[in-house]
Amino acid sequence: MAVPLIFRSSVMVCGASMCGIVGYIGDKNARTILVEGLKSLEYRGYDSAGFAVFSADGRLELCKTEGKISALEKKAAGLTGHYTCGIAHTRWATHGAATEVNAHPHISSDGRIVLVHNGIIENYVNLRRLLEAEGVVFRSETDTEVLAQLVAKFYEPGRLVEAVTSALKSVQGTYGIAVMATDMPGTIVGARNGSPLVVGIGEGTWCLASDKSALPAEVSKLFYLEDTELVCLDDDGYRTMSLENVEIRKEVLEFQYEIEHADKNGYPHYMLKEIFEQPRTIADCFRGRILPEQGMVKLGGLAAIEDRLRDFSRIVITACGTSWHAALVGEYLIEELAGIPVEVEYASEFRYRNPVIGPETLVLVISQSGETADTLAALREAKMRGATVAGIVNVTGSTIARESGCGIYIHAGPEKSVASTKAFTSQVTALALIALRLARMSKMSGSQGMSFIQELMRLPEKMERVLEQASAIRALADEFKGQSNCLYLGRGFHFPVALEGALKLKEVSYIHAEGYPAAEMKHGPIALIEKGMPVVVVAPRYGVYEKVISNIEEIRARKGRVIAIATEGDESIRRHADVVFHVPDVIEPLSPLLTVVPLQLLAYYITVAKGLDPDMPRNLAKSVTVE
C-alpha cells in the first residue's frame, strides 16, 4: 500500500530544467540539509524550488514554491517533524514557465514516484503520446513529468532501480535525476547522462548533488557518476551500476568540507565580493607555477603533453560567454608571445559545423564550472577527431576536468554570483601562463621570460589600486542607471575587454550594450550615437592610442558621453573624455587583467543603483548544463 502523502503545494506539476539537485539519507533533519544544499546551488537556477522528504514513520511531505530558496524556506517553516530522507531541487526553467505548478519535485499521477530532474528530454513529446494512449493523465506540458510517469509505468513494489533503468532506456536527451518511491522510504536512486551528479558518503550519511558544494559537513568521501551510470542509496549504503544493471566499482575520493567563500564576508552581494577577491585569485592561479629566476613556468597539469607542446601547429580555444572572451585574450597572448596560430570558437557552434582539426591541433576548452554542456560537447567532438584536448576549469573533479585528461585548474575558488568576474581574470592568467610556456619553448629568451613573470607578480598589487576607485565608479552609476543603450570600444587586447564589459552590463543591469573594436564604430554602430549616450572606451596608452583618441573625438562630435579607461599618468585624455578612470601601467599582454576591473565595478554599481540583484539576474543561471 502506498504511503500517505501530505502536499504543501497546490498542484503536482514540474518541468525540465537546468538546475540544482540535492538528495540526502541520514540521521540529521533532511529538510534542513536539503534547504542548505539548495542555497549552495541557487546559482544554477532560482525560478522555483521544492523538496520531498520522508519522516521516520514513512510519511512523505512535499513543499515547493515559485521564486528563490528564501521563499521555499519560509513556506517550509511549518514542517517541524524529523525527516530522514529526501530530494530537493532549484529550477532554471527550460520547458514550462517559471511557476509553482512547474516546480520540482514531480510526482507521478498514481502517487508512487517522486522525481527531480536536471536536463532536457528531447523525445518527451513521443513518450508523452505513448503514455497518454495508455491512459496516463498529465498535469503539465513539461518534459520532466514524462520521466516520473515513465518510471511509474515500469515500477513494481520494491524495485525502483529496475523501474528507473527500464524508463531511461527509452529516453533521449540529457538528465541528472534523483528518484524516490513512496513505498520505499529511505531509498534514493540517482542517474546521469550529460548532467552532473556527485555522490557523498559520511558516517551514517549518503547524499547526492549536482555540485559538491551542496554536500553537507558530514560527508568525508565522494565519487562522481559518469554518463549512463546509476546509484542506489539507502540505509545500508550505496551501489553503482550501468543502465544494464551491471555493477560498477567507483573510485572514491577524500572530501574535506570547506565553508570557504560560502558567505559574503560583509559584502552586500557575492558579485562585489568576487570582484574584490581578484588580486588574491589571480595570485592563487600563478602561485607555485612560476619560476622567476628561470623566466619559466611549471604547469604540472600539462605534464602528459609536455613533450608534444612543440609539435602543435595550431591551437583552437573553445568556450562560451565570459570564458569565450577570456579565450579571445588568450588568442592575442599566444600569438603575440609564442607566434602560434590560434582560433577561438564558440563551443555552442563547434560541433555543428566541420571544424578542421586533427592530431596536430591542441584544443583548449575553457569552463568555470567544468560542466558547460556546449563546451563538453566541443571537447568530445575534438577528441573524436583526434585532437589533443586540455581543459582550463575552476571546479575540481568536474566532467570537463575528468574528460580532458590534462589542463589547468584556475584556483579561483567558488564563484557564487551568476555574472562571472574572478573566473574571467583567473582564466586570462592561466592563458598567460600557457602562452609564456609556449613562448619560452620557441622565440622568447630567458631574460624576456623573467621580465614577463615580474610583471605578472606585480599584478595583484596593481589590481588593488584599481579597486580603490570603487567609490568614484559608484558615484557615476547613479548618473547612468537610466540609460537604455551603451557602447563599449577597445582595440587589440582590449577588444575582448570591451566585449566582456558590455556582457557584464547586459547580464546584471538589463541595459542593452554592445562591444566593438574601436575602429569598427564608424562602420555602422556610430549611427546609434546620440546626445548623452554613454560610450565606454578602453584606451590605455599603447601602440594604437592616438587612433583610439580619434575614435573618441568621433563620438564627442555626435555628443556621446565618453567614459575612458586610461593608463595612470595619462592626464591628457581628460581633454577628450567626460569621465576617466586610470589603471596602473603594465605590459600590454597583461593589461586586460586591469582594464576589465573598472567595467566589472561599473556594471555592478549601475545594477545596484537600479534596485536589482546582481547575483541573480533574470533568466540566467551560473552553470549552463543544457544545450
Could you tell me if 314 and 335 are in contact, meaning their C-beta atoms sit under 8 angstroms apart?
no
Cell of 584: 596602473
Confidence band (pLDDT; 50, 70, 90) for 2?
very low
- Tens-digit pLDDT profile for residues 42-55: 777 678 889 999 98
Q: Which residues contact 17 (CB under 8 A, 6 or more apart)?
A: 45, 47, 89, 91, 92, 93, 94, 95, 104, 117, 118, 119, 144, 626
Q: Considering only CA atoms, which of 21, 43, 384, 403 is closest in space to residue 227?
A: 403
- Tens-digit pLDDT profile for residues 461-489: 999 999 999 999 999 998 888 899 999 99
- Tens-digit pLDDT profile for residues 217-265: 899 999 999 999 999 999 889 999 999 989 999 999 998 766 544 578 8
Q: What is the mean pLDDT of the segment spanning 162-171?
A: 95
Could you tell me if 149 and 168 are in contact, meaning their C-beta atoms sit under 8 angstroms apart?
no
- Tens-digit pLDDT profile for residues 5-22: 333 332 223 333 457 899
Q: Is 520 exposed, middle or buried (0-12, 13-18, 19+ CB in 10 A)?
A: middle
Looking at residue 239, its pLDDT comes to: 95
Could you tell me if 452 and 427 are in contact, meaning their C-beta atoms sit under 8 angstroms apart?
no
% residues pLDDT > 90 (the chain): 67
Looking at residue 262, its pLDDT comes to: 57
% residues pLDDT > 70 (the chain): 93
Confidence band (pLDDT; 50, 70, 90) for 554?
confident
19 has catalytic annotation: yes
Looking at residue 261, its pLDDT comes to: 46
Report how far residue 20's alpha carbon sits from residue 91's, in angstroms, rounded to the nearest whole number.
7
Confidence band (pLDDT; 50, 70, 90) for 201?
very high
Looking at residue 16, its pLDDT comes to: 35
Contacts 24+ apart (CB under 8 A), 145-148: 145/13, 145/14, 145/15, 145/106, 146/121, 147/106, 147/115, 147/117, 147/121, 147/171, 147/175, 147/177, 148/14, 148/106, 148/107, 148/108, 148/113, 148/114, 148/115
Higher-pLDDT residue of 80, 566: 566
List, in order of start, the domains of the chain with CATH numbers. Answer: 5-254 (3.60.20.10), 270-468 (3.40.50.10490), 469-627 (3.40.50.10490)
- H/E run at residue 271: helix 270-276
Q: What is the mean pLDDT of the segment spanning 505-513?
A: 96
Higher-pLDDT residue of 189, 95: 189
- Tens-digit pLDDT profile for residues 149-164: 999 999 999 999 999 9
Residue 254's DSSP bridge partners are: 221
For residue 56, the number of C-alpha atoms closer than 13 Å in the C-beta half-sphere is 7
Report how far residue 181's alpha carbon sits from residue 162's, in angstroms, rounded to the nearest whole number.
12
DSSP per-residue string spanning 559-578: T-EEEEEEETT--GGGGT-S
Looking at residue 258, its pLDDT comes to: 62
Count of other CB atoms within 10 angstroms of residue 578 = 17
Instruction: Tell me which of 68, 75, 422, 622 is the catalytic residue.
Output: 622
Confidence band (pLDDT; 50, 70, 90) for 623?
low
- H/E run at residue 162: helix 160-168
pLDDT at 594 over 50: yes
Report how far residue 159's alpha carbon sits from residue 156's, in angstroms, rounded to the nearest whole number.
6
Prediction pTM value: 0.80
The overall average pLDDT reported for the chain is: 89
pLDDT at 305 over 70: yes
Rg from Cα positions in the chain: 26
Region of poorest pLDDT, from 176-180, 268-272, 393-397, 510-514? 393-397
Instruction: Tell me which of 19, 85, 207, 320 is the catalytic residue.
Output: 19
Helix orientation angle between 592-609 and 446-467, rounded to the nearest 10 degrees: 20
Q: What is the mean pLDDT of the segment spanning 283-307?
A: 94
Looking at residue 441, its pLDDT comes to: 93
b (16+ CB within 10 A) / e for 581-598: bbbbbbebbbbbbbbbbb
